[in-house]
Structure 1
Amino acid sequence: MKRILFMGRSECGKTTLTQAMRGEVVHYQKTQYVNVHDVVIDTPGEYAENKSLAAALALYSYEADVVGLLVSAIEPYSLYPPNITCLVNRDVIGIVTKIDHPNANPKMAASWLRNSGCTAIFYVNSKTGEGVQEILDYLKEEGDAP
């Protein structure tokens, strides 16, 4: 299975999605440092939010096969500038989280991800598991167990 690096703002759902993908009980857990799991690299939101820490994301991207840019469907803006995906020599996918929230606007979040250069976009609700299997299917490689 391909390894994916999650990046995005604080509280956009990176750790919750990591827990859902690993089949764990979903609970809030603040990520204080980079957590490297079997197929997921979970990064703190502060790395994407602060210029002085952003270089670490570039370094960790070399440890992954795929980069996942996460945007919560309730975020008021996007951190990602247009066409940023060309700066990474990995596949970059967009992931819209919190699609079940009453104030969610998944179309806007997906639009921001498309503007950033993501061509594949996944919609997830980590608490119910909606959309999680689609990401796992995307990460499967030939020869992986079904």
Structure 2
Amino acid sequence: MERKKRIILIGRSAAGKTTLCQRINNEELKYHKTQTVQVINQSMIDTPGEYLERRYFRGALMVTATDADIIVLVQDATENGSMFPPAYSSMFAKPAVGVVTKQDLATEQQVAHAKQYLKAAGAGELFVVSSVTGEGVEALVRHLDFL
């Protein structure tokens, strides 16, 4: 039996990683703080934002990413700035996709800046989504082709 492709979601705390996982799985959207790495449906690895925010946890992201096929960099459109350093995705040696979240709360200019941050971090294909409205999520899922 062939294993599904597995993605790892990396981004700041409250960037929308867990909510995006819930939307993809057609679950009720409810906020809870991700405290540890969680594997969802054997196809998604949801990581705590602190793993990106704290330098001493970044090694844990690299180790956890070995179980993933695709890196998903998640950027909150309403956030000013980004935690992703330039060419960040290159350390994983795997395809990287960028996802701009909270599109329903952001201005066009904020979305454009979020896309720039993700491109600078090394994301290839970019998707703009709202986990609340569902906008853009289907296109992302089709691209990832893991369901």
Shared fold per TM-score greater than 0.5: yes
Matches within 5 A, 1:83-102: 83-102=87-106
* Cα offsets for 1:59-87 (capped at 9, x unmatched): 11111110101100011111111112211
Contact 1:47 1:56 in 2 (8 A): yes
Structure 2 runs not aligned, ≥5 long: none
Contact 2:95 2:124 in 1 (8 A): no
Q: Which consecutive segments of 4 or more residues in structure 1 shift more than 3 A?
A: none
The separation in 2 between residues aligned to 1:50 and 1:129, in whole angstroms, is 30
SS in 1 for 2:105: coil
The separation in 2 between residues aligned to 1:101 and 1:86, in whole angstroms, is 30
- Is 1:8 aligned to residue 14 of structure 2? no
2:118 maps to which residue?
Answer: 113
The separation in 2 between residues aligned to 1:140 and 1:83, in whole angstroms, is 25
TM-score, with length taken from structure 2: 0.91
2:132 maps to which residue?
Answer: 127
1:67 maps to which residue?
Answer: 71
Residue from 15, 18, 21 that aligns with 2:21: 18
Structure 1 runs not aligned, ≥5 long: none
How many corresponding residue pairs?
142
The separation in 2 between residues aligned to 1:28 and 1:88, in whole angstroms, is 29
Q: Give the C-alpha shift of residue 122 in structure 1.
A: 0.6
The separation in 2 between residues aligned to 1:4 and 1:136, in whole angstroms, is 11
